A and B are shown apart, each in its own frame.
Chain A
Amino acid sequence: MRKLLWVGWMCWVSGVGAGEMARVPAGRFVPLANSVDPVRVAAFRMDRLPVTNAEFLEFVKANPEWRKGAVRAVFADEGYLRHWAGPLELGDAAPPDRPVTSVSWFAARAYAEWRGKRLPTVAEWERAASLTPEAEARARVLAWYAEPLRFPLPAVGSTPANEAGIRDLHGLIWEWVEDFDAISVTSRAADGDRPSPFFCGGGAAGVADPSDYAAFLRYAFRGSLSATHTVAGLGFRCARDEENTP
């Protein structure tokens, strides 16, 4: 069934010629903290799908320093591509059409740069994610967050497209963003490494929309990461500025 979906999706992409990136129209993003003003997000392009194992394999073929076993400890922890069979071999645990995970932020950025793209910012990612019908998204997202991930993960493209034609923002994997660590800084906490108000019990009162518990979870998760971390359910997709897109 999943294979059928994948094949169907690929046919749709080539048939319609929609391209691998979708346009996300300009809009506003309301950060979780009430103390922060809404951020204007310019229109940008975002990959319709997360990066797959097959795509990441192309990258490491061309960039030996990012192969499993060769990557520097300063750029990725020891779990890097742990589900791959070898430096240039995906194996049974990492089928080609599944999202690549267990990659560090440094690796995700290197991949994006190699493709002539970049990672989306938190604001861009959340803006794109907000283009999913709200009630549906919340129900699905919370159900997904409540379930432990099963491996191998489903193929990319296995969740419905949102209004911009982007899939898998919810319900498949967690995703790296360019400024994943920005959220744990607040103006008040800026002169130390004090924890942000998001993480203490009373923190929920500072959330822009307390019913958006899923967004809250994403922020807490991003805030817990370091750039070298690799996590089995954490992958990424790329973005690009609007003006650079042909």
Chain B
Amino acid sequence: MRLRVLVLLSGILPWIVRGEDACCAAPPAEAETGSAWSDTSLFHLESGFVNTEGETVRLADLAGAPTVMAMFYSNCPTVCPRLIAELRRLEGELKDGAAERLRVVLVTLDAERDTPERLRTYAEHMRIDLKTRRLWSGEAKDLRTLAALLGVRYRKEANGAISHSAPIVLLDGEGRIVARMKGAGVDTTAFVRTLQEQLDPEAL
């Protein structure tokens, strides 16, 4: 709980500090409906997801700091292990301690099988540190909504496998998509540059 308050505070503070000087970002739209997020912010999504502790989480909980997001499923034999390896590679390319500030949220595409317990086991198996990496599950309809927002295309096959594209998406602290990569094995230069900028303490 205290952590969540901190996260929220760290989301509000930059607004106060930066004021009018906010650089590259489009100005936050409309005060009328009471939301500070810009029109293109994914934080408008109200759907709840479930983390590995079984708690309900929302995209807006990620406010205040950049987040790398991708979708996967734990039974995935090929694409997902490569995706996770690619995320490690990105981390390795970051400089000046930025990797320590990197937050990654991986959301499953498999609502049926990927329970919080199952995702905890998967994290252990894949040596994913749940202190800095988050694995979320949720209801099938909400996972499909998120996939649409992140541009992940997928289909469940008759044999239980899920064919899916595996883009890696960077959200800024206000929930806007500021960079995306098509998946593993592509040029990472532009993505890493934006990620490094976003993680630069002066940018936060």
Contact = CB atoms under 8 A, between A and B. Distances in A.
Contacts of A75: 44
Contacts of A36: 157-158
A8 B165 CA distance: 47
B53 to A, nearest CB: 27
Nearest to A105: B148
Contact of B183 (A39, A65, A106, A192): A192
A169 B128 CA distance: 47
Contacts of B113: none
A106 B141 CA distance: 11
Interface string A222-241: 00001100000000000000
Contacts of B44: 72, 74-75
A193 B165 contact: yes
B40 A185 contact: no
B141 A118 contact: yes
Most buried by B among A72, A105, A106, A179: A72
A88 B44 CA distance: 22
B65 interface: no
B157 A106 contact: no
A113 B148 CA distance: 17
Interface of B: 33, 39-42, 44-45, 78-79, 82, 141, 144-145, 148-149, 151, 153-155, 157-158, 161, 163-167, 182-186
Given A109-B141, A227-B149, 17 more contacts: A36-B158, A75-B44, A105-B148, A113-B141, A179-B144, A179-B155, A185-B163, A187-B157, A189-B165, A190-B163, A190-B164, A190-B166, A191-B82, A192-B165, A192-B185, A193-B153, A227-B148
Interface of A: 36-37, 39, 65, 70, 72-75, 105-106, 109, 113, 118, 178-179, 181-187, 189-193, 226-227
27 contacts: A36-B157, A36-B158, A37-B158, A39-B158, A65-B33, A72-B39, A73-B40, A74-B39, A74-B42, A74-B149, A106-B148, A109-B145, A118-B141, A179-B144, A181-B153, A182-B154, A184-B153, A185-B154, A185-B163, A190-B78, A190-B163, A190-B164, A191-B184, A192-B166, A193-B183, A227-B148, A227-B149
